[in-house]
Chain A
Amino acid sequence: MLRKSFITLVIVVLFLPFLPLVIWSFAQGWFFPQLIPDQWTLQHWSQLVSPTSRVIEGLLQSLAIALITTMLSLLVGLPAGRAIGVMDFPGKEALKLFLLTPIIVSPLATLMGIQFVLIRLGLNGTLLGVVLVHLMPTIPYMTLVLTSVFANFDTGYETQARSLGASPLQVLSQVTLPLIAPGIVVGALFAFLISWNEFLLTFFVGAGRVFTLPMVLFTLLQGGNNGLVAAVAITSVIPGLLFLLLASKALENDTVLGGFGNV
């Protein structure tokens, strides 16, 4: 079947970069033109878990930043998504576009500008400062997803619950949130991934003191230890893949992704 072979080809190409990555992480001295390394070793992996490589430290910091960023962008994005998705008000389109600017306009100038304030506030080089700038790219994506979900949400359900005697809090926890759960999952997925993968923002604001996995990777790339680089790269990928797997069911929900097709 032509269709199937095309798809298989695409999948092979997409997975291809992982091959040398995995092999390198177990290779001891793998030189051109060998297709398979002479010697195999676990030293890269043991080096990875040792505290001197700072990889575990980077992993934990990345995790902390990503989780906090996700939480905060959810908190901020939910009301915004509701407002845009459900309500009609003057300036709605303008505000929606405004919220999208961080992902369309280059953040470089902003970074250089904000560093000024962060230094003054003493936030430069702190976890909090990094989280703050991470909110910039995550809020737009979160808003897009949640707007789409809310637009397809029938507020009649809430009205119904109220008439049956539910308090606003009960309506929120028992009706609204469960019904928009796929959207929350996907929004959180995007926010987590963006924060987890973010390099430039952390680089600028972290000032060398906040050490995330991308930073580790970047530093290692300047060196020549392919094996260690490969091992760290693989480690960086795992949480994201896990999250994607967990959220895959929610990703099939088209109402959630519709927002990206409606900028």
Chain B
Amino acid sequence: MYKSTTHPQSLMPHLHLQELTKQFPGVTAVQSLWLEVQAGEILALLGPSGCGKSTTLQMIAGVVQPDSGTITLDGQILNRVPPERRDIALVLQRGLLFPHLTVGENVAFGLKLRGVSRAEREEKAIAMLRQVQLEGFADRKPSELSGGQAQRVALARSLIIHPKLLLLDEPLSALDANLREEMQDLILRLQAQTEVTMLVVTHDQAEAVVMSQRIALMFEGCLRQVDTPEQIYRQPYDETVARFMGGVNFFAAEAHGRQWRANDLTLFSEYDHYGSVQVTIRPEQIQVFTEGRSQTNTLPATVIANRFTGTQRRLTLAIASELTLQAWVTPTQDFRVGQLVWAYLPPSALWYFPHSTVPHPVQVP
């Protein structure tokens, strides 16, 4: 069973994937996937390229047929339902606006298919464009739009038909960095307004953390951890998860209850365990002081590298006896290479992996 510490309240999930499996020649893309998404929730399907998240999305949308397993939406089993009748909207990475239609015609496309009259279509399209802050763009051609604008039109086009589920495939990856935040805000705002259930597929952990209420981490076709972003940061399931989320500090230790011994250091953790463990601590959690303190978990260290990233100062610290950790601190404080400092490792931040680093496939609960 994948690690999950939060279980949503309602009994009936809005979207329910059960034992979804898909194989392509030579590779198993998705293996016995089990996932529940609640109505009105935003869930991010996060994982490296090739982990099977796009395939999962395509199966939910109906353009790819699973080999086995069921997809249930709002109580209805979707497996045999063709894509055009699933009431699911999909926004692709590059918007993919129909080049032969104007922006307004693109937005109203779904309504036209459903037989809505021209006057009503136009009215609704204009209203939708206003919602995505593209008022007045109705007569433009897609070729005249920037990437961000095209993405917004694609969103409008999908939301106008009031789908039960909105699927977003890497919605921000094609955008410039400065546009991403705007788009994130827009997507979150639209979701709040429409309360549509949203599934975002992405390979960017920073994107997933900002946009979703829960993250489903996927590696090699299997779900590894499904949790809130905070939980995944604080208590990653294993080293692969921790590394994917940007963790950099890993070391072996012997745990005796709350007292953990690494090399010849003794550290105190909030977590209770006995036996060999792999320990991890987030670099942002380590605090660095220039003067010694008599706190537990405060260790002398030498600065061996110092890197400024604009928003952080990334220090590589050599803790006494063969332990190197990274500490990311606010840039206001400066340090010299070779400087002697004191590193404080908060007990609540010291996490361990109770499992071996060989990943377990997800088991059915």
Are A and B close enough to touch in the complex, i.e. CB under 8 Å?
Answer: no
Where the two chains meet, the residues of B that have a C-beta atom closer than 8 Å to any C-beta of A are none
Where the two chains meet, the residues of A that have a C-beta atom closer than 8 Å to any C-beta of B are none
